[in-house]
């Protein structure tokens, strides 16, 4: 094997330095000045793109664009600990200390493919949190100490990650070739290349002085290097030498003297090996032979004589992460596969983990948000602290697709063939209790409310109007065909106000091979002042696709592709277009709250528009969302968003505060009536503070023994609701005691299990 030992300066071009211009990028770019991401919950996924292992934890980039943390203490029963949304974490995850660095590929608003390195705080595995990002190319990255080295085509970009929340760009090295693989250790960076000049070489750079990187070592291969890895102080590389016998070489290099790398051992590996991962004792090659992927395991405890041990057939090509005696495979179809490697000669699958699910409609009240989760029913989430939403149980409701909260009642649209409307009492003890059921005979896709009337939209564009003044006995008081369908019907939507309902149907015309050519929509406005005989006022057909609609007073808001269109429908027979504005993202949902329109979009975004003058909507805030949003609801100062896999909350107080009325402050201290009472597991306790005070709020048994403390701190003026989760307490009577410097009050609580 030829070795080249020489010292040579690498051509360097720095666009930033410590003492000139530096670029510091943190998550500040993610939020606008007036809308802030607050919190998230759930984390559904079924497939995984990539995986890394540290200790007994596996870190996954899920197929739908999330980051999951999995506890592997019990290899037969892995369990998900935490989840956070990114964009589409792809093929590379690096864990170092308290942070995970994930290649994060996503599509921007102009449909261009972008790649960042997403930085996630993993100190609390149950609450991983995205804290920073680094703009990055697509060839790979490596970390060593407080530096990150990213390959971007023919450049090596260097970042200071001493503060992962605010990485600082140090500069770039012009390599003169396209880099293909990179690893780093201490002050050295190891690179392989795509260029003809360096095709056969492993290049070693000394980056002690990042402003003047020096080539200190070069190792020449017989073919060209693919993946490289470090194990027990040795560099292990796959040398794809191009032979036609189906085999390549795994070469073990001693790089203790970086200026003189030398081969000390090798063995044959499949020539189709495209991914390579090692621990100090195990090497794993992933190969794909004509669509038949498999994993080969090698014993490298003796680096002079690496030895093939076993092979494991894989259902699909998967990325792999290794622990000391187990492997994790990121299966894009099935999720996380856990393999026991205690006996390397007999690798055995012990478990498959995924967390399938979808989130659809969302409705929020003062203390809870209710989320339609398809076959999983309806999830209840405690949003008293919207920055830390808490799961508060689920209720069965068939295939739940849409939800609506009115007063003490929750209405759930079931997409089953019977078209069931489930009605729940939200103020019952414990979880909401079903008090009513009505079946329309067609799957329900949408619910809207007009006073005591509930409007239901079916798959086949049928409108049903129910009188729910007695929720236990809903009455069908009217129905009509609400549009047109046929084989080319794509979707139907509905919204309602006091006396008017608007139905939108999306359809498409046939193109080549009966594929969709052009989308068009028709909106129909109905007078429902006489619900027994809804009357069509107007119907208009236009080009384009309508994603959602909302009605507020005399105004209709339509999301038409990337545009928001506002219509005056005070004369429902002759609606007039007031404004069309470009929202910057392909809309997926809209809700109106007071004088604000809250819009979510396909390009992962939330925008707020001031529509106090409907003819002149003005954007007052925006923020990227973590997932691809499905629905949005608004309560208080927060927007509540569902994506396919996650529930997200956004603080919009600054945006709506620009025009929102002043909320009067409490005039006196008060411990208000807890609800629901009696209760099953959780109870809400409202309090009022007319001035900032040291607040003590505690729960006691009737004997006087303190059970828990809900608050004991200086608390700001205002109204707030605290929640006691009594799942570990026995049934019986308790009392809550509120104390400040000059106030004391108690209320009795009854827990029934």
pLDDT tens across 465-475, in order? 999 999 999 99
C-alpha–C-alpha distance, residues 163 and 180, integer Å: 28
Alpha carbon separation from 416 to 459, 468, 580 (Å, rounded): 11, 21, 37
Residue 66 near residue 89 (C-beta atoms within 8 A): yes
C-alpha–C-alpha distance, residues 723 and 643, integer Å: 26
DSSP, collapsed to helix, strand or coil, labels residue 28 as helix
C-alpha–C-alpha distance, residues 558 and 571, integer Å: 17
Phi, psi of 421 (to 5 degrees): -105, 115
Is 186 exposed, middle or buried, given 0-12, 13-18 or 19+ CB atoms closer than 10 A? exposed
Lowest-pLDDT choice from 357-371, 505-519, 550-564, 676-690: 505-519
Phi, psi of 27 (to 5 degrees): -70, 5
Could you identify the residue written with the tokens 């007009």?
450
C-alpha–C-alpha distance, residues 176 and 157, integer Å: 13
pLDDT at 592 over 90: yes
| % pLDDT > 90, the chain | 43
**Other CB atoms within 10 A of residue 45 CB:** 26
pLDDT at 105 over 70: no
- CA 345: distance to chain centroid? 39
18 confidence band (pLDDT: 50, 70, 90): very low
Alpha carbon separation from 51 to 60, 92, 350, 606, 722 (Å, rounded): 5, 8, 17, 30, 39
- Kindly report whether the peptide bond that precedes residue 678 is cis, defined as omega within 30 degrees of 0: yes
pLDDT at 197 over 70: no
Mean pLDDT of the chain: 84
Q: What does 180-211 look like in DSSP terms, one character per residue?
A: EEEEEETTEEEEEESSTTTTTEEEEEE-SSTT
Residue 143 near residue 184 (C-beta atoms within 8 A): yes
193: Cβ–Cβ under 8 A, 6 or more apart, which residues? Answer: 175, 177, 178, 179, 180, 199, 201, 203
DSSP state of 2: -
CA angle 163, 166, 169 (to 5 degrees): 100
pLDDT tens string 593-610: 988 999 998 767 899 999
pLDDT at 727 over 60: yes
pLDDT for 661: 42
**Other CB atoms within 10 A of residue 504 CB:** 26
Phi, psi of 43 (to 5 degrees): 175, 80
pLDDT at 1 over 50: no
Q: Which of 577-581, 658-662, 719-723 has maximum average pLDDT?
A: 577-581
pLDDT for 346: 94
Of residues 125, 119, 122, the one with CA closest to residue 150: 119
Alpha carbon separation from 128 to 43, 81, 725 (Å, rounded): 11, 9, 23
122: Cβ–Cβ under 8 A, 6 or more apart, which residues? Answer: 59, 69, 95, 98, 99, 100, 128
C-alpha–C-alpha distance, residues 413 and 445, integer Å: 7
pLDDT tens string 502-534: 988 887 764 444 444 577 788 899 999 999 999
The residue ranking higher by pLDDT, 506 or 429, is: 506
Q: Which element (helix H / strand E) includes 495?
A: strand 489-496
The residue ranking higher by pLDDT, 583 or 45, is: 45
pTM for this prediction: 0.71
C-alpha–C-alpha distance, residues 703 and 733, integer Å: 10
188 confidence band (pLDDT: 50, 70, 90): very high
Within 13 Å of residue 671, how many CA atoms lie on the same side as its CB?
19
* Phi and psi based region of residue 667 (left: phi greater than 0; alpha: psi -120 to 50; beta: remaining): alpha
11 confidence band (pLDDT: 50, 70, 90): very low
C-alpha–C-alpha distance, residues 582 and 616, integer Å: 12
Could you identify the residue written with the tokens 């070469």?
251
C-alpha–C-alpha distance, residues 237 and 300, integer Å: 13
Query: Residue 409 has which token pair?
Result: 């009642």
pLDDT for 290: 67
C-alpha–C-alpha distance, residues 440 and 430, integer Å: 29
C-alpha–C-alpha distance, residues 413 and 418, integer Å: 11
Residue 642 near residue 362 (C-beta atoms within 8 A): yes
Q: Which of 270-274, 574-578, 643-647 has maximum average pLDDT?
A: 574-578
End-to-end CA distance of the chain: 76
C-alpha–C-alpha distance, residues 136 and 140, integer Å: 9
Beta strand ranges found along 21-110 (DSSP E)? 23-24, 36-41, 48-54, 57-62, 66-71, 79-85, 89-96, 99-107
Q: Which of 285-289, 329-333, 555-559 has maximum average pLDDT?
A: 555-559
| Average pLDDT rounded to a whole number, residues 372-400 | 90
pLDDT for 523: 87
Could you identify the residue written with the tokens 């696709």?
545
pLDDT for 148: 94
Of residues 124, 122, 127, 170, the one with CA closest to residue 150: 170
DSSP, collapsed to helix, strand or coil, labels residue 514 as helix
Of residues 126, 117, 39, the one with CA closest to residue 83: 126
Buried b (16+ CB within 10 A) or exposed e, 658-669: eeeeeeeeeeeb
| Average pLDDT rounded to a whole number, residues 3-21 | 35
DSSP, collapsed to helix, strand or coil, labels residue 66 as strand
Query: Residue 302 has which token pair?
Result: 């003796």
| Average pLDDT rounded to a whole number, residues 159-179 | 89
Residue 342 near residue 324 (C-beta atoms within 8 A): no
- CA 36: distance to chain centroid? 15
C-alpha–C-alpha distance, residues 288 and 275, integer Å: 10
pLDDT for 349: 94
pLDDT for 155: 87
pLDDT tens string 117-139: 889 999 888 888 888 888 866 67
Query: Residue 297 has which token pair?
Result: 């395991």
Give the ranges where 647-717 is alpha helix by DSSP (H).
653-657
pLDDT tens string 615-668: 999 999 998 887 788 999 998 889 999 987 889 999 999 998 854 444 567 889
Alpha carbon separation from 451 to 364, 465, 497 (Å, rounded): 18, 12, 8
């Amino acid at each position: 094997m030829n070795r080249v030992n020489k010292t040579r300066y690498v051509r360097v071009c720095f666009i930033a330095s410590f003492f000139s211009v530096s670029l510091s990028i943190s998550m500040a770019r993610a939020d606008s000045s007036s809308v802030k991401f607050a919190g998230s919950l759930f984390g559904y996924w079924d497939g995984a793109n990539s995986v890394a292992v540290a200790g007994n934890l596996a870190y996954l980039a899920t197929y739908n664009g999330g980051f999951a943390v999995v506890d592997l203490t019990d290899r037969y029963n892995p369990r998900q600990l935490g989840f956070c949304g990114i964009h589409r974490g792809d093929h590379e995850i690096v864990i170092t200390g308290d942070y995970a660095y994930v290649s994060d590929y996503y599509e921007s608003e102009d449909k261009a493919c972008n790649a960042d390195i997403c930085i996630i705080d993993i100190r609390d595995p149950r609450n991983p949190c995205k804290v920073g990002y680094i703009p990055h190319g697509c060839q790979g990255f490596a970390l060593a100490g407080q530096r990150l080295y990213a390959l971007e085509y023919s450049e090596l970009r260097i970042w200071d990650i001493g503060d992962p929340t605010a990485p600082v760009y140090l500069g770039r090295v012009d390599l003169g070739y396209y880099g293909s693989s990179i690893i780093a250790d201490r002050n050295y960076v190891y690179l392989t290349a795509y260029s003809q000049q360096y095709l056969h070489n492993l290049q070693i750079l000394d980056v002690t002085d990042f402003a003047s990187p020096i080539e200190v070592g070069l190792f020449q291969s017989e073919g060209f290097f693919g993946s490289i890895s470090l194990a027990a102080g040795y560099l292990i590389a796959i040398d794809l030498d191009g032979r036609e016998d189906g085999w390549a070489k795994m070469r073990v290099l001693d790089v203790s003297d970086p200026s003189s790398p030398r081969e000390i051992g090798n063995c044959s590996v499949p020539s189709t090996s495209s991914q390579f991962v090692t621990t100090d004792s195990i090497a794993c090659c992933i190969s794909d032979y004509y669509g038949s992927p498999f994993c080969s395991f090698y014993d490298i405890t003796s680096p002079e004589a690496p030895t093939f041990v076993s092979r494991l057939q894989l259902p699909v090509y998967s990325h792999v992460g290794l622990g000391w005696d187990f492997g994790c495979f990121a299966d894009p179809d099935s999720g996380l596969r856990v393999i026991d490697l205690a006996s390397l000669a007999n690798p055995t699958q012990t478990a498959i983990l995924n967390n399938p699910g979808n989130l659809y409609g969302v409705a929020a009240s003062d203390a809870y948000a209710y989320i339609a989760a398809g076959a999983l029913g309806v999830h209840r989430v405690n949003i008293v602290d919207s920055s830390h939403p808490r799961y508060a149980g689920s209720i069965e409701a068939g295939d739940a697709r849409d939800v609506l909260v009115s007063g003490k009642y929750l209405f759930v649209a079931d997409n089953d063939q019977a078209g069931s409307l489930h009605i729940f009492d939200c103020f019952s003890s414990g979880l909401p209790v079903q008090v009513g059921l009505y079946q329309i005979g067609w799957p329900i896709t949408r619910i809207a409310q007009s006073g005591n009337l509930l409007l239901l939209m079916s798959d086949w564009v049928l409108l049903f109007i129910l009188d729910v003044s007695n929720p236990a006995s809903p009455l069908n008081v009217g129905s009509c065909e609400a549009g047109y369908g046929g084989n080319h019907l794509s979707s139907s939507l509905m919204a309602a106000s006091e006396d008017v309902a608007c139905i939108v149907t999306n359809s498409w015309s046939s193109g080549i091979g009966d594929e969709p050519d052009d989308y068009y929509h028709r909106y129909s406005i109905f007078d429902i002042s006489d619900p027994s005989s809804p009357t069509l006022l107007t119907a208009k057909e236009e080009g384009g696709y309508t994603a959602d609609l909302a009605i507020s007073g005399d105004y209709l808001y339509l999301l038409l592709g990337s545009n928001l269109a506002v219509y005056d429908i005070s004369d429902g027979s002759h609606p007039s277009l007031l404004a069309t504005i470009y929202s910057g993202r392909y809309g997926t949902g809209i809700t109106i709250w007071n004088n604000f329109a809250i819009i979510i979009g396909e390009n992962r975004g939330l925008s707020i528009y001031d529509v106090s003058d409907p003819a002149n909507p003005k954007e007052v805030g925006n923020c990227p969302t973590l997932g691809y949003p499905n629905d949005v609801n608004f309560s208080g100062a927060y927007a509540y968003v569902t994506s396919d896999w996650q529930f997200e909350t956004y603080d919009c107080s600054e945006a709506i505060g620009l025009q929102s009325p002043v909320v009067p402050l409490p005039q006196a201290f008060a411990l208000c009536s807890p609800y629901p009472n009696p209760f099953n597991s959780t109870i809400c306790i409202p309090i009022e503070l007319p001035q900032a005070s040291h607040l003590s709020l505690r729960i006691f048994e009737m004997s006087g023994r303190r059970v828990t403390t809900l608050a004991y701190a200086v608390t700001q003026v205002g109204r707030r609701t605290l929640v006691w989760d009594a799942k570990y307490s026995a049934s019986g009577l308790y009392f809550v005691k509120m104390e400040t410097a000059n106030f004391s009050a108690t209320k009795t609580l009854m827990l029934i299990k």
